[in-house]
């Protein structure tokens, strides 16, 4: 009994010490806080309002439903724009938010496909935000994250372009990463994942390539979408 009590005391002590050395820090309001959900303080996380799904038309008969955890506004905007050492924590928080705030958790999928970064941008940044978010969801759903797609050309950063330029910017930029994927991943239920949805042209271009695999279900989830 005494042993358990000492163990509990030791745990409480180190927990307090950890909080002192690494206090929880809100991504949005930059306040140190004790209650921290999705990398946000309680007040900031309460600002996240539910967002309705939208359907992006891909072909005459096919559209892709997109789930979004939030509109592209604070506090989720701050998570998407997180820099440097905070980025990985932010990706994890975005993944948790998609899981908690959207209907993706009620859906069944066989695999998750992140929107890829061009290798030049990947080399510069060292990681792909969409892929990190996809891994959080993959762990929740117990399904694999597969890099089915590759970018065939480097494109300008979407947020810096006008609406017309964005659609042009992502036309035909994706291809299957390996030709054999067409057979291996045929007739599967696929969830596409990206951090941010702007015009929908990225999801649309990626979906057109994935349709070659004849998926039985093709839907998408994003951290935030522009209103």
Nearer CB in complex with Zn ion: 41/141: 41
Residue 83 buriedness (CB in 10 A; 0-12 / 13-18 / 19+): exposed
**Are 190 and 176 in contact, with CB atoms under 8 Å apart?**
no
> Which among 187, 98, 105, 103 is positioned nearest to 134, based on CA atoms?
98
Rounded distance between C-alpha atoms, residue 129 and residue 142, angstroms: 20
Please report how close the Cβ of residue 89 comes to Zn ion at its closest, in angstroms: 14
Nearer CB in complex with Zn ion: 41/68: 41
Q: Tell me the β-bridge partners of 218.
A: 190
Q: How far is CA 180 from CA 183, 184, 220, in A?
A: 6, 6, 23
What values do phi and psi take at 196, rounded to 5?
-135, 140
What values do phi and psi take at 174, rounded to 5?
-110, 155
**Are 198 and 223 in contact, with CB atoms under 8 Å apart?**
no
Chain residues binding Zn ion by CB under 5 A are 26, 28-29, 41, 44
């Amino acid at each position: 009994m005494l042993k358990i009590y000492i163990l509990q005391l030791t745990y409480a002590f180190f927990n307090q010490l950890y909080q002192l050395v690494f206090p929880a820090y809100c991504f949005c309001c930059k306040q140190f806080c004790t209650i921290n959900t999705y990398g946000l303080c309680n007040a900031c996380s309460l600002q996240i309002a539910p967002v309705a799904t939208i359907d992006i038309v891909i072909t005459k008969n096919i559209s892709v439903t997109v789930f979004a955890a939030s509109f592209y506004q604070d506090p989720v905007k701050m998570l998407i724009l997180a820099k440097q050492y905070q980025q990985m924590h932010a990706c994890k928080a975005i993944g948790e938010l998609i899981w908690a705030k959207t209907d993706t958790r009620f859906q069944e999928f066989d695999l998750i496909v992140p929107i890829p970064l061009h290798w030049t941008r990947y080399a510069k940044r060292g990681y792909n935000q969409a892929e990190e978010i996809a891994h959080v969801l993959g762990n929740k759903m117990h399904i694999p994250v597969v890099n089915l797609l590759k970018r065939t050309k480097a494109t300008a950063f979407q947020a810096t372009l006008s609406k017309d330029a964005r659609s042009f910017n992502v036309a035909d930029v994706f291809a299957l990463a390996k030709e054999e994927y067409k057979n291996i991943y045929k007739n599967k239920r696929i969830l596409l994942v990206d951090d941010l949805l702007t015009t929908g042209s990225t999801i649309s271009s990626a979906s057109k390539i994935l349709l070659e695999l004849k998926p039985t279900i093709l839907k998408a989830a994003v951290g935030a979408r522009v209103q």
